[in-house]
Amino acid sequence: MKTKKIAPSLLSADFSNIEKDIKMVEEGGADLLHLDVMDGHFVPNITFGPFIVKAIKKVATIPLDVHLMIKNPGDYVESFCDAGADYLTVHVEATPHLHRVLQQIKAKGVKVGVSLNPHTPLSSIEEVLDDLDMILIMAVNPGFGGQSFIPNTIEKLKRLQQMLEKHQATHIEVNVDGGIKLENIREVSDAGCDIFVSGSSIFKADNPKEMIQQMKKELE
């Protein structure tokens, strides 16, 4: 049985005092920390690399869900595994050799994730389901926090459930990233989401700890 998890995205946290924000969301009941790695090529924004992941790993007490939005992820997955990723996700659009990259992650003993941009069909991962621990469905175009949830994502999530059932792969955790807020979290959950990434809705809330609690209540 999969449990529903809240994964605050540090993209909207205060990096001048990241330890404080990490402790805050951990105390609020966060299940995972979502770390967005951007290279300025795959997405039009740049964030951080393995060095910062390693620093975060030192202070975090919950697992790290590392989301690579970088071209040629195969060149870097080992560094991110060594830096302390517990889940490592690569984009299907970012490499012509997805199967090989997934094996590289698995060989490091890290949970294997693959992400799909909003326009990318579910069929693009049908041949690698056996290699996956997690599927991350983008509900916005990757690159920035604070965007609106793309409504078509709900139908896509329902079709993903059908695909997972057809292949007896319902053990794979489904992660949804982008535009998740208190008002839509239940609908996203009912469509088949297990891990809820949320950046701006948590960190820009008046009381982020309370926001996590309220989101969890919606998932009961």
Q: Which stretch binds ligand DX5 (CB under 6 A): 50-58, 101-109, 116-124, 194-202?
A: 194-202
- Span 147-166, contacts to ligand DX5 by CB under 6 A: 147
**Which is it for the CA torsion 186, 188, 189, 190, positive or negative?**
positive
In angstroms, the Cα distances linking 84 to 5, 52, 57, 111, 138 are: 19, 10, 6, 11, 23
| Site for ligand DX5, residues 66 to 95, rule: CB under 6 A | 67
Active site residue 65: no
Q: According to CB under 5 A, which one of 134, 154, 177, 192 is a site residue for Zn ion?
A: 177
Binding-site partner at residue 79 among ligand DX5, Zn ion, none, CB < 5 to 8 Å by type: none
In contact, 172 and 2? CB cutoff 8 Å:
no
Q: Cα(first)–Cα(last) distance of the chain, in Å?
A: 14
Which window, 86-94, 101-109, 154-162, 176-184, contacts Zn ion (CB under 5 A)?
Answer: 176-184
The only residue of 110, 198, 211, 215 in contact with ligand DX5, by rule CB under 6 A: 198
Residue number, 45 or 170, with CB nearest to Zn ion: 45
Tell me, yes or no, if 36 is annotated catalytic. Answer: yes
Interface map 52-71 toward Zn ion (x if CB under 5 A): ---------------x----
Could you tell me if 157 and 192 are in contact, meaning their C-beta atoms sit under 8 angstroms apart?
yes
Choose the contact partner of 8 out of Zn ion, ligand DX5, none; CB within 5 to 8 A by kind: none
Marked catalytic residue, from 36, 39, 65, 133: 36
Return all residues near 212 (Cβ < 8 A) that are at least 6 apart.
6, 8, 25, 28, 29, 30, 202
Contacts of 218 (CB under 8 A, 6+ apart): 182, 185, 186, 189
- The yes or no reply on residue 184 touching ligand DX5 (CB under 6 A) is no
142 or 192: whose CB is closer to Zn ion?
142
Distance CA 182, CA 179 (A): 10
**Residue 51 token pair:** 């060095």
User: Which positions lie near ligand DX5, rule CB under 6 A?
Assistant: 9, 11-12, 34, 36, 67, 140, 142-143, 145-147, 177-180, 197-201
| Residues forming the active site | 36, 177
